[in-house]
Amino acid sequence: MTFESKLMCGIILITIPSIEYGGHFLLTVLSGRFTKIEFNAFQKAMFRAGHAHAGVIVILSLVCQLLADHVALPLGVMWFVRGAIPTSALLISGGFFFSSMTPNATQPNKLVALIYIGALLLAAGLITLGVGLLI
């Protein structure tokens, strides 16, 4: 494992308690124990999606850090790959949460764009890594 992988994996692992806290929040909301604000079905579904995407993409980004050790790409492109995938987890999950936070929301607000930006960043990082592994 290279220094770069260790650095990025360490940073990524430190973010996981925030995902755990999100899971605790989600469980509290879904069980009806969160009484400060009433969330509707749309908001609960968006919270579920945001939490699931965060967890899955963070695990994927850890795997990609190790794969990135085995590609021959220019240094700048390598750092793009190393940063793009975990950053996409923040953008996509944040898009789900923030686009549904207005009171009584029944459809996403303009912050839903974060999901699309994150998805494009994720795709660019994964395709670049994949091509790097094939060459």
CB 93 within 8 A of CB 51: yes
Give the pLDDT of residue 85.
97
What is the value of pTM for the model shown? 0.91
> How far is residue 69 from each of residues 47, 56, 75, measured CA to CA in Å?
34, 21, 11
Domains and CATH numbers, the chain: 3-134 (1.20.120)
CB 87 within 8 A of CB 126: no
Give the pLDDT of residue 35.
85
Tens digits of per-residue pLDDT, 98-108?
999 998 899 99
